[in-house]
Structures are given as C-alpha cells and as structure tokens.
Structure 1
C-alpha cells in the first residue's frame, strides 16, 4: 500500500476532503500503488471522499462495510476499476444500482490518463494497458518545433551560463582533483548509446564497487558537487549533447544501459520510452520526487509515456517552466 495513505479499517483506506468541488465519492478497486501524494491532493479537490479498496474475496465486508454506508451519504459514485484482474466492481455496481444511485465507471487506464495526467503501468510484466498499443515515435509535427526549442533555448542558455561554467570548472578542480567533466554511456533514442557529458559531482572512486544509483544524500558527492546537483548546474554540459543531436531539451531522462536492461525485464512498456530522444529535463523529473530503483522507475515511466503519447507545445512549455521552479526551489536530485 502507498505510504501516504492512512488506514482505519482492515481492508479500506478512506480519505476525506472538505474542499471538494462536487458532492461525489471516488471508489478505486484497483491496486492503489499508482497513487502518489500529489495525486491524492489533486483528487481531494474534486471528491468529497476517496475510498481505496484492496483486493478481497470478502464480498459481504465489501458491501456492508465499504459501500453501503457511502450510499447513505452520497448520490453520486465514481468507480475506478482494472478490468484485467478485478471483479469487485460487479458487486459494487449491482448494489449501487439497487439503491438507485448514480454511478460512473472508469477503467484505471482512462482514469490515470485523464484525471492524473499520467499513463497506468501494470505491476506485472505479463499485464497490458490497451491505451498503449499504438504508441509511436514523434513525427515531423513534433520533431520540428522541438528542434527549434532545443536550439533556441540551448544557445541562449550556453551564452548566459558561461561564467557559471568557468566558476564550476575551477571549483571542481580545487575540491576534487581530476577531470572537471564526466563522460558516461547512456541509452538514447531507439536504444542507441551515446556519451553523456556532465560536470563531475562525485569522487573519482565513486563506482569502484560497480554501477549504482545515486542517492539524495550521497556520500560519494563532494561539497560543490552537491550544490551542482541541487541546482542542476552539473547538467549544463549536456547542451553539447543537444547540439550533437544525442538528446533533446525535454524528454525521458537518459538511463545507463545496465539499468535499462534490468528495468526492461520487470517493468511493462519500459523500452517504449526510447521511442523518442531523452532530455536534460522531462515530465517525470518535474512531476515525481527524487527516487531510485525499480519502483521509482515504474512511476517515472508513467509520466514519460504520458509525455510521448500526449505531446503538445503547451506541455513542452509547462515542463520548461516547472524545471525553472525546481531549479530555483532547489529540489534537484
């Protein structure tokens, strides 16, 4: 269960809202792992009450304890269900209809995409999302405006950040002897590898024991390296990756081959994030808090695939603005 949820019954997680716009209750009978703190805050503004029902075969409990009390208080029920492995919604639906209440049924696939602005990724590699069957690479309609944005913003950013480059180069050399720049193999569009350029923020022996995820408070990071990571200064050299057409300004974060291979084996649709160029920043980076590992990669993929599937100029500009907020709010990795 999501660590942000508070349980007050053996099976049911109940969340109340006093600021909802509609007199409506939301019941989710799918696994609730896809709901994060930001999602719940968003839903609390829409619904009077949110009920998260884990899987159970106890239909009597489901009806008498979970649903019946709600029907005494509310006229409208919004039921979210996963058709692939969930039969509970049939039980709830029949009870609601018998009580002559209004009910709206939404699949978890549509609910995530329309209400939460992300794509639902199943927990099991064998499960599918029918909304992702036709996901395609970016066509000319998307590539051309993205290329203009990439070159324009990168050129301006390079010009105004040159003093920061010089200062960072000197401080890195003083605090951690060795090269100021760091080159690392990353996976790009269509699974093609490229050399990602960054300012070095870790000690030279940071991976003496093998590849590992960086952490929020990583002991391998020297003092100024931590500041660069917090303010995203370490990402500035990737401007040259944009000029070399390795990456875009906005896109899924480029990952290392060893991690991509691992994630691809256990996370459905993970490889589809490589249908487009990776980016210095992206929808997942600004929408999801810091994290590392399979669980976090799955959650970030929900945002990356939403970006690919629903690209628009408005979404592109929104990500740029949110990135600025993240940088000046010092919410870096």
Structure 2
C-alpha cells in the first residue's frame, strides 16, 4: 500500500501530510471538488504512517481536477509515487500536460496508465517529451488504451519512443491507428537502445498494408518478446501472398518473439497449414492464436505444439551504483 516513514536517527518525511493539505488547497483554488477516492486514500496512508506509492482512480475529475492533484505532487516534489492509473477520469490533453510536468520534475514514476481519457495529438506531444532520454524518467510501463490518438498521435509519441531506453511495456489498444501508423511502429522497433519487450496493438486498423510493414520490422527485431495484434482488420488474400509470406518469414527468423496474438483477423486454414511447420521448428514460440476462422483440428494442433513451452526468464538488469 505504501512505504513506511523513516524514523530514529533519520529525518522524518512529512511530504504525504503536506500533499494532503496542499491537495485540498489546490482544489479550492481551482474551484473543483475533491476526488473522493483520492482523498480517502490520502487520509488512509497518513493515518497508517505510510507514503503514497500507488494511485488508482476511476472517478471523473476532468482536466482541472487532474491538474489540482498533479500540481500538488509537483509543488512538493513528491518522491514516493511509483504507479499512476487514471481510468476514464476525462484527463484530456491538459491533464496529461500536468502529469508530464510532475514526471519531468521528480523522474521516479514507473507505471502510467491513462485508459480512455480523451487524449489526443497534443497529449502525445507532452508524453513524447518525458519518453525522450533527455528527460531521464524511470517509466517502464505506459498504457493509452481507448484514446483516439490515431496515426498522427502515434507519430508524436514516436519522437520519444524511437530513442527511449527504459520503457518495457507499451499498450495502444483501440487507439484508432491506421495503416500509415506502421511507419512509426517501425521506427519504435528499430531503436537499438530499446528495452521494449511487450507491445499491445489490439483493435486498431492496420489492415494488410500496415500489418505487412509491421511484420517487416518484427522480422529483424531482437528485443520484443510479446505482441498483441488481435482485431486489426488484416486478412488472407489468395491472389496476393505478400502479407502471409512476411508473417511466415517472421515466424521462421525471429527467435526472440515468443507470444503472438493474431485472433479476430481473417486468416485461413491454408495459412495455418503453412504456419504449423514453422512453429514446430521455432521452439522460442510459446503462445500463438491465429484466427477464430481456423478449423478446430488446426487450432488444436497449434495449441499442442506450444502447450509445454514456456517463455524465457527475463534477466534482471543490474542497477547502477
């Protein structure tokens, strides 16, 4: 829930009590009500003599409410917050700006989850700044699911992500990304300093053109371990084997990527028949779902091939002294 305050010979840290008072003041100045969930959480950690490490809110606050909260964190340089999850609070771009100002000042936040918050291109520009190495943030997980940032927003994010060296997990499910967004995805996956091992892109509209460009990047990428591409509107085309051949090539050549979620795209039994021998050979693949259109015998065959396979254990990175 929180980390205990230091006592004894060490100076006590009263920053959480300061945060509690300052948040009330900021809400009054901005003319917004206190967020009930956040207020109760603050009071709880204060009464238990702890600090606030994890904030999870789903009560509508609007951008001004988010600003009142984040300016409170920023003003005192609050150093204990590690995870911030704001779900459907209507944060919007202005709220993102204040979150990024806090991250830039303290640089200790590790997880940022902004599910369905009406974030657009401008919000992506703010996020790109804190994802750039010059910010030196500690962010390892970013979730922007159900924000219609589109390919333009992704292009802005990429200005930071293409050079980022800390992020391990990126979720952009149902973000309105079109086929032209694949160029940005290529740039992200081409980053030689990347630590990104999990990428979620379900429910976008890459279609055949975008999926082909993405698999071109996946074919040679040696960092990513898991990808989710369910429901991206790409399909099997007997008259044009360009896409399926690139997918087959990726299964054959990429020995790092072990988890593929391709369901709810229209691939055929013929495609599955070509994929199976490659999965048999590539022992690094431990999970694969192709399509709900595949016949049960072929689906069962794929499951049997990967049933006893397990993902490689991640090596713990050594912390710098």
Using structure 1 for the length normalisation, give the TM-score: 0.27
In terms of fraction of residues, the more strand-rich structure is: 1
Higher relative contact order (CA 8 A, sep 6+): 1
Using structure 2 for the length normalisation, give the TM-score: 0.28
